[in-house]
Amino acid sequence: MAEKHQQFESVIIRSLRLFRDRYFSNKDGKEDFMKTAAEQDNEEKESGFLESLPVGVQFQIMTFLSPSDICRLGATSQYWRAMVRDSLLWRYFLLRDMPGWSSIDHVSMPNLDMLDAPLISEDESLDDREEGDEKEREIKFDYMSEYLKGCPSCRQKWLPSRPTYAVMTSFLQYIVRPSEPRYAMFGPGMEQLDVSLVTRLVHAHDMLPLATTPSRQQINGTTSDLVGEQRERARVEQQSIRSKLFTVEGTNDSGYPVYSPTPHVQLVSQVVDGFIYVANAESDRAVDWKAEISQIRVLLNCAADPTSRPLLVLSCVSREQSETINTTKHRTPCVYVAKRLNLPQLSNPWMVQDTVVESLSGFLDGISWLLRSSGVKLHDSSP
């Protein structure tokens, strides 16, 4: 992996060097060793110190900049405007940063198919093609646009600020009161993780300011009725809760299992305003993605208006990863969770949010998106 990474960096540097040599070469034809010190000093003053650096150094500088800083750099001169728009450069940023993104949704999901496209020849500059071919390439492989569209730090600038605890309080009110928006929660992450999300939510008194703990009947969702030793046995043996929610009727022509929801699940799906799918994002487990895709689709199709119900996918791990502890439980990036669940194929609004069950990190961000997607206005109480 490290070797491929270095090879990719070499391709980018070679591409940037060819581009600079073609369009920003010395116009007077003089080689550097033929110029006087005064001429070289004047050139550096005119072009800027950064532009006079070797391309490899320029590339290393850009790798330390944030997306917004790179865009600001491109606004400083014609040279940097051209350099920062290099398509391979942003493909590199996508491959490097995308696994660390904490959330993705139906608007910002990048086109992952373009990352499978072959690299251009190392001896071919990005601008060595015919004009028509280049236009087609820009439309088809605009890595810069895909990066800026999907990067969470860029997306956060579009959203209004909101008080964290007001969001959480609103969410609790909507779960407990039948007259308010209601959400059905289901998914393998509710049973397979070492830490129970439902139990953590019920006992999170710092985040759930309730006078009394809501009973199972008050929570409008589909949760497991396994308790104590039964639940522990189900987790250890990797038994799925889907047998209590669905009936397996066979497989379709594509090899996907066909499920039929139980009458109770059908009733719940018809009256809720959205769905929360708890996915197990710990990459050390064997995943039946086809089964999970089928379960999500069958519940969405049970809704009164299937395409309008928002779907929040909580991509959960039990605990924060520790660099000091050797563990095989790494997180599956949210972008790949979305792809494996075939979420881009849905007509519903959806979002995948990285969540740590033990600390509930990321949970509030996902809930605030769900409320907004349900038409709930989140008011900022700050002055």
DSSP state letters, 229-285: HHHHHHHHTT--THHHHEEEEEE-TTS-EEEEE-HHHHHHHHH-SEEEEEEE-BTTS
196, 262, 206, 289: which is closest to 235 by C-alpha? 196
Query: First-to-last CA distance in the chain?
Result: 50
Instruction: Tell me the average pLDDT of the chain.
Output: 76
pLDDT number for residue 254: 85
Please report which confidence band the pLDDT of residue 59 belongs to, taking 50, 70 and 90 as the band edges: very high
Do 1-20+49-118+140-161 and 183-207+241-374 have matching folds? no
**Domain residue extents for the chain:** 1-20+49-118+140-161, 183-207+241-374
pTM comes to 0.76
Asked if residue 284 has pLDDT above 60, the reply is yes
* Mean pLDDT value of segment 38-46: 52
Asked if residue 123 has pLDDT above 50, the reply is no
* Mean pLDDT value of segment 107-123: 76
CATH number of 183-207+241-374: 3.40.50.300
Two tokens at 61? 């500088």
Residue 49, helix vs strand vs coil: coil
How far apart are alpha carbons 311 and 369 in whole angstroms?
10
Asked if residue 164 has pLDDT above 70, the reply is no
281, 276, 316: which is closest to 296 by C-alpha? 276
CATH fold of 1-20+49-118+140-161, please?
A: Monooxygenase (1.20.1280)
* Mean pLDDT value of segment 338-352: 95
* Mean pLDDT value of segment 182-192: 89
pLDDT number for residue 210: 45
pLDDT number for residue 181: 82
Residue 323, helix vs strand vs coil: coil
Of residues 329 and 311, more confidently modeled: 311
Asked if residue 323 has pLDDT above 70, the reply is no
pLDDT number for residue 102: 93
How far apart are alpha carbons 113 and 119 in whole angstroms?
13
How far apart are alpha carbons 195 and 184 in whole angstroms?
20
* Mean pLDDT value of segment 262-272: 89
pLDDT number for residue 350: 97
93, 85, 143, 148: which is closest to 113 by C-alpha? 143
pLDDT number for residue 163: 52
291, 304, 306, 295: which is closest to 349 by C-alpha? 306
* Mean pLDDT value of segment 60-72: 90
